[in-house]
A = this chain, B = another copy of it.
Amino acid sequence: MDPLSKIDFAKADGLVTAIAVDDVRGDILMVAHMNEESLRRTLETGEVHYWSRSRRRLWHKGEESGNTQRVRSLWIDCDGDVVLLRVEQRGGAACHTGRRSCFYRRLGGDVWTALGETVFDPREVYGK
């Protein structure tokens, strides 16, 4: 049986939420979306491919920065509309801000504090 038949792409216009977790440390690196094609491409190549909603195209993560993600394992949740990818994060950073994780701001009182590790300078990597 096709294992992707367990995944409910129909619920949200062909997309599921995809969470990338660092396979070594176990923390969340980023959250994006996948359609069926991007998940098939991910499994075929072993490299994570998302669906970019803003650019409306397949997005090979790290295609610009070089910070690709190698799949170590794939998990689904109980109702099959979220996939969790345990990955090896090349370059040590998933976030376009240069931080290791996109979840670098924590609320304390009424203030968000930036706490995450910065790995690269986005002006150098993206030339912006």
Interface residues of A (CB under 8 A from B): 1-3, 6, 17, 19, 21, 26-28, 30-31, 73-79, 82, 84, 95-97, 99, 102-107, 110-112
Contact = CB atoms under 8 A, between A and B. Distances in A.
Nearest to A6: B112
6 contacts: A74-B106, A75-B104, A75-B105, A78-B97, A79-B102, A82-B102
Contact of A17 (B31, B73, B75, B84): B31
A119 to B, nearest CB: 14
Copies of this chain, whole number: 2
Nearest to A105: B76
B76 A3 contact: no
Contact of A30 (B30, B77, B102, B111): B77
Of A31, A75, A104, chain B has the most CB atoms within 10 Å of the CB of A75
B28 A106 contact: no
Closest 3 CB pairs of A and B: A77-B102, A74-B107, A78-B102
Given A27-B26, A31-B82, A112 B17 contact: no
